Amino acid sequence: MQAQGTSMKVDYLIVGAGFAGAVMAERLAKTGQQVLVIDKRPHIGGNAYDCLDANGVLIHPYGPHIFHTNSDKVFDYLSKYTDWLPYEHRVVGVVDGRLIPIPFNLTSLEILFDVEKAARLKEKLIQQYGMDKKVTVLEMLKNTDSEMSELAEYIYKNIFLGYTTKQWGMSPEDLSPSVTARVPVHISYDDRYFQDKHQYMPKYGYTKLIEKILNHSNIEVILGKDFKKMNAEIDYGKLIYTGAIDEFFDYELGHLPYRSLRFDFQTYKQRRHQSNGQVNYPVSNDFTRITEMGHLTQEIGCKTTVAIEYPIAHLPGVNIPYYPIPREDNIRLHERYINLAMEKAPNVVFAGRLGDYKYYNMDQATAAALVLAKNIL
Ligand code: FAD
Ligand code: UDP
């Protein structure tokens, strides 16, 4: 407890209590450093925060989160702080009035086309790309075989174009190819959304997981504190900043573009509302997907809550910068901010999805934080 009027002294001030900030705090605290973590929100967990809604259903207010990773290192590290519930995410999409598995796979093909055509296309897909292989839709569009390119056009038009335009406000070609490559066409009957080695939900939720990571005698957490509104009350050696880098520099080099979201949570008096954890609406409606929380958390009660996701423009200071927009020009602007940081703020390390301006999943945010902490130490 600090005396009134005096400033608090720590080795590290970490801005942001999401995965990146919490993992960095734990790593530094373990070596005896005094760490203060602040977050402008009234809770820890960042965008992975979960809590009970008014109906007692566990929800993710900033969007449904499913943990998946191929990294044993990340999985082992996080396993120290949580037990897990096995969960394999399976997504369907409404296409041509039917529900098909997404990513598009051989089952999707057989649902959408007549038996003969599906068999012919399947044979060609296996011949050209190989069974159990994945191919991105943008790669597939380059195929010169007329039936293959017709199929690629169909997939592009019915699964990617509308969804991507809603989600990002631009078409797939205007984004880094890595964005649509997250959901490649899968030449297989494996209908899981992710193929990672480890696929789980934290048994007691993400907030509890982050709470345990932060539970160290060398870590103090202050919530509801915005770094941008802070005065000299905290005396720190080094600053780790997991907020938006352009905001940190008061947009000196211009605004880095982000995409925001609006969530509409609906609760139904039934055990389950939809067949799958996630149903995508690639062509119809203003929303992109509806996720039923109970499928993910595996809670079953007399009520169930779904999250309907509406992508919206990001307005700095008004709504949340949920997604960095991966494009060459934006990545170059971020690099200019990093150069500015070296020149003007050599004492600050930027990290996390917003500091690095990278489309990190939780495991990637964790992995990057583990590496960064090691480098700092
Ligand atoms: P964040 O979680 O954003 O934490 C940053 C924190 O910094 C925030 O709490 C913020 O309040 C705080 N902050 C910012 N500026 C300031 C300031 N000036 N002062 C004080 N505090 C500040 N990943 C998966 O692996 N699986 C999924 O299924 C998945 N689904 C997702 C769904 C959605 C809709 C979104 C948006 C993301 C999803 N992710 C998913 C990605 C996941 O949310 C991120 O990888 C992870 O949360 C990144 O952690 P972080 O600590 O970098 O950032
Ligand atoms: N995508 C699409 N149609 C779909 C699913 C995904 O066009 O049915 C594209 C879209 O551009 C999306 C990207 O693939 O933003 C990545 O999808 P993912 O589900 O990984 O997005 P996230 O969960 O990160 O929002």
pLDDT tens-place string over residues 199-223: 999 999 999 999 999 999 999 999 9
Q: Among the listed ranges 6-20, 81-95, 295-309, which one has the minimum average pLDDT value?
A: 6-20
CA atoms within 13 A on the CB side of 184: 17
Residue 200 β-bridge partners = 67, 86
Determine the pLDDT at residue 2. 46
Query: Are the beta carbons of 249 and 354 closer than 8 angstroms?
Result: no
Question: Does ligand 2 come within 6 angstroms of the Cβ of 102?
Answer: yes
Q: Does residue 226 register a pLDDT over 70?
A: yes
This prediction has a pTM of 0.97
pLDDT score for 7: 73
User: How high is the pLDDT of residue 1?
Assistant: 44
Q: What is the mean pLDDT of residues 178-194?
A: 98
pLDDT in tens, 68-99: 999 999 999 999 999 999 999 999 999 999 99
Among protein residues, the one whose CA lies closest to atom 20 of ligand 2: 182
> What's the pLDDT at 3?
45
pLDDT of 49 above 90:
yes
Region 264-269: mean pLDDT is: 98
Report which bound ligand comes closest to the CA of 183.
2
Instruction: Give, for ligand 1, the residue of 242, 314, 349, 357 to mutate: max count of ligand atoms closer than 8 Å to Cβ.
Output: 242
Q: Given this model, what pLDDT does residue 104 score?
A: 98
Question: What would the pLDDT profile of 341-371 be if each residue is shown by its tens digit?
Answer: 999 999 999 999 999 999 999 999 999 999 9
Q: Which atom of ligand 1 is nearest to the CA of 356?
A: 52
- Ligand 2, residues 180, 287, 353: which to mutate, most atoms within 8 A of Cβ? 180
Q: Are 128 and 143 in contact (CB under 8 A)?
A: yes
Helix axes 19-30, 362-376, angle to 10 degrees: 30
* pLDDT one-digit tens code per residue, 313-330: 999 999 999 999 999 999
Q: From the CA of 283, which ligand is nearest?
A: 2
The answer to whether the CB of 167 is under 6 A from ligand 2 is: yes
Taking residue 34's Cβ as centre, other Cβ atoms within 10 Å add up to 17
